[in-house]
Amino acid sequence: MSLQCGIVGLPNVGKSTLFSAISSAKAEAANYPFCTIEPNVGVVEVPDDRLRVLERLVNPQRIIPTIIEFVDIAGLVKGASQGAGLGNKFLANIREVDAVIHVVRCFEDDNIVHVEGRVNPVSDKEIIDYELQLKDLESVDKKLQRIEKAARTSGDAKAKAEVEVLHRYKKVLEQGKSARTVDVSDEERLAVADLHLLTIKPVVYVANVDETSLAAGTNEYVEQLRAAAAEEGAEVIVICAAIEAQIAEIEDLDERAMFLEEYGLTESGLSKLIRASYGLLNLITYFTAGEKEVRAWTIRRGWKAPQAAGVIHSDFERGFIRAEVIKLADYDQYKTEAAIKDAGKMAVEGKEYIVQDGDIMHFRFNV
């Protein structure tokens, strides 16, 4: 299951430095706008301590974690919705991702040029919001013109319902708010599904701070950003991209832990960001475990067992018979599958079983 988070922000806010830290694909970083022109794509492992538990219990030949993709997208400037700067390319690239990681500069540094000439995280956020909202409003208006005509001429009830929903999106966008804040049902949201609205995508904000603010956990800019993000129910993660880039280069785990300890951290900000991105996409993990490999699999929350099996192979879903399910706590307690079965802790589930985060599963199928 390939899902992507797009890293966006104004030029020189630390996007490419952050991307370089979380991905083996190094983005070019420089102190001038538009140094990242083509979107770089990096595949990142999702940190999961449960894999280490299974490794200890199963002793497999290999461990395969689940992954998430990050895309470093060119910086945006005012007027992007009208094609300014690299606006058209930026907007096209954002349209293709599943969620947005919005990096906002929350530090002072006279040596790093700010494209707007001052540090103001709320204003920076609003610049990008505004440009995306304008593009969404244009998309909604175009569809409204088409659907309203059809509703008038045919009297079609479905078309009339779509018009009503589209007007609700139009009203919110005209108020300078994002499409994700519109209160609609899943069925009503289908009215704009074909538009692939930019501001309907889930978002998490990254407050890029300096070393001093990282140790403190916040600063005045971070608090301003948090207040703005709270209005749309979005999460803010505090990161020092420059420090994260250093951490990423440390391969020895003990040495990395010592480095983190110097800043009073128990884990890197990037680990928090990767997990937050995973959650942002409403994803969960289930596991398969055997001598050959222990593997994490990504699925959508709420998927039933046959859908989850289909991630491994379409035959598993097509010929699904049942799923044998073990909870990690039981595996840790009883140590072997045989002991788990003897204790009656292996559940046999059918087609209606909703897979839970952390399930260890074995599928029976016949095609």
Residue 13 main-chain phi, psi, to 5 deg: -100, -5
Tell me the C-alpha to C-alpha distance, in Å, between residue 108 and each of 15, 83, 119, 287, 299.
16, 29, 7, 44, 41
CATH architecture of the domain with range 302-365:
Roll (3.10)
CATH class of 129-199: mainly alpha
Q: Which one, of 336, 300, 331, 303, lies nearest residue 317 by Cα?
A: 303
Percent of the chain with pLDDT over 70: 89
pLDDT of residue 221: 97
The pLDDT score that the predictor gives to residue 256 is: 86
Asked if residue 153 belongs to a known ligand binding site, the reply is: no
Q: Bridge-partner residues for 204, per DSSP?
A: 101, 235
How many other CB atoms are there within 10 angstroms of residue 53's CB atom?
16
As a whole number of angstroms, the distance between CA 297 and CA 306 comes to 14
In the prediction, which pLDDT does 72 show? 86
* 17 marked ligand binding residue: yes
Q: For domain 4-48+65-117+200-280, which architecture applies? A: 3-Layer(aba) Sandwich (3.40)
Identify the helix (H) or strand (E) that includes residue 215.
Answer: helix 211-216
Is residue 254's pLDDT more than 70? yes
pLDDT at 37: 41
Asked if residue 14 belongs to a known ligand binding site, the reply is yes
CA dist., res. 297 & res. 286, Å (int) = 5
How confident is the model at residue 356, as a pLDDT? 98
Q: Which of 84-93, 125-134, 286-295, 318-327 has the lowest mean pLDDT?
A: 84-93
Tell me, what's the pLDDT at 76?
64
Domain boundaries, the chain: 4-48+65-117+200-280, 129-199, 302-365
Rounded to whole angstroms, the Cα distance separating 34 from 27 reads: 12
Q: What's residue 143's pLDDT?
A: 94
- Which is more confident, 161 or 149? 161
Interatomic CA distance for residues 30 and 9, integer angstroms: 15
